[in-house]
Amino acid sequence: MSVLQGIALGLLQGLTEFLPVSSSGHLALAEHFFGVETPGVTFEVLVHFGTALAVLWFFRRRVASIVSAAVGFLTRRGYDACEARLAFHLIVATIPAAIIGLLFEEVVGRFFSNPVAVSFLLLLTGCMLWLTKWLQEGVRAEGSTRDAILIGIAQAAAILPGISRSGATISAGLALGIDRTKAAEFAFLLSIPVILGATVMSIGDAITMRGELGAAAAAGTGAAFLSALPAIAILMKVVTIGRLHRFAYYCWAAGALGIIFSTVH
């Protein structure tokens, strides 16, 4: 993989990670149809790390408040109870994806080499987004522990390339009656522990990268960070005004094209 290819895939990752169109699905299809070879899922994990850094930067004040509340709770000092509860919900919601990721790592890896399966999952993501059109606007400013578990299960399903993580988690939050802005914010914050955890698991493979491949991964990570920032702002706006379902058209088109190209490729 060249540095230029790494940057191109990093830009693609950053733009599609938070727009509800499945970044992993786009990466899998791009690698297949354009013949870009990457070292298993290590490259994907590293560019995902770039998007995690973007979330940390975009929500830096909120993240600092949550961490401060969590530390205050653990040390029995003064803390914001709402922020401490949010920290607990983020931990709870992370567990399903962590379990699925550890138990089915090889299965998930095989999906990346199956463009037809990825394309069908993109079609499914489109259907999921379209259903949000009929959801009533939520009024709850925060979810319960039960809600966190259900949103975590939705995130676990999005480990498969083609299922949008942001689309699945935001849709789940909206279906549970959570306020649009809060549902989107929780989905973004929830991406941090999962992506950072996957990055830690892949550190060994990343260190073994050498020469041009390592440079391509580094360039891709930086490109993902820069392109993810505007994607986060765009999706926050789209969710707030209740237009999440419009991304269904894109997912359906991408899925259909993926199936067609796979058939004739």
* Whole-angstrom distance, CA of residue 151 vs CA of residue 186: 9
Ordered alpha helix ranges (H), the chain: 3-18, 23-33, 42-58, 60-74, 81-103, 105-111, 115-131, 145-157, 165-175, 180-201, 203-208, 211-240, 247-264
The 10s digit of each residue's pLDDT in 31-48 is: 777 666 655 556 777 787
The 10s digit of each residue's pLDDT in 44-78 is: 777 878 888 999 999 999 999 999 999 999 888 87
Single pTM value for the model:
0.87
CA-atom Rg of the chain in angstroms: 18
Q: Is the pLDDT of residue 248 over 60?
A: yes
What would the two tokens of residue 80 be?
Answer: 């914001």
pLDDT at 36: 62
pLDDT at 230: 93
Q: Is the pLDDT of residue 227 over 90?
A: yes
* Whole-angstrom distance, CA of residue 169 vs CA of residue 191: 10
Q: Is the pLDDT of residue 126 over 90?
A: yes
Q: Name the band, by pLDDT with cuts 50, 70 and 90, for residue 172.
A: very high
Q: Which residue has the higher pLDDT, 204 or 218?
A: 218
Q: Is 257 exposed, middle or buried (0-12, 13-18, 19+ CB in 10 A)?
A: middle
Cβ neighbours of residue 151 closer than 8 Å, sequence gap 6 or more: 93, 143, 169, 172, 173, 176, 186, 187, 190
pLDDT at 170: 96
Indicate the range of 154-163, 210-219, 221-230 predicted with least confidence. 210-219
DSSP letter at 140 equals B
Give me the residues paired with residue 140 across strands: 178
* Whole-angstrom distance, CA of residue 61 vs CA of residue 56: 9
Q: Tell me what the mean pLDDT of segment 230-255 comes to.
A: 94
Q: Which phi and psi angles does 179 have, rounded to 5°?
A: -50, 140
Which of 62, 63, 90, 56 minimizes the C-alpha distance to 229?
56
Q: Tell me what the mean pLDDT of segment 215-223 comes to.
A: 86
Which of 139, 153, 51, 49 minimizes the C-alpha distance to 92?
153
Q: Tell me what the mean pLDDT of segment 22-32 comes to.
A: 77
Which of 124, 155, 132 minimizes the C-alpha distance to 246?
132
Residue 166 three-state SS: helix
Place of tokens 């930067």: 57
* Whole-angstrom distance, CA of residue 221 vs CA of residue 88: 29
Q: Name the band, by pLDDT with cuts 50, 70 and 90, for residue 128.
A: very high
The 10s digit of each residue's pLDDT in 72-122 is: 998 888 788 999 999 999 999 999 988 887 887 777 777 777 888 899 999
The 10s digit of each residue's pLDDT in 3-13 is: 888 888 888 88
pLDDT at 188: 93
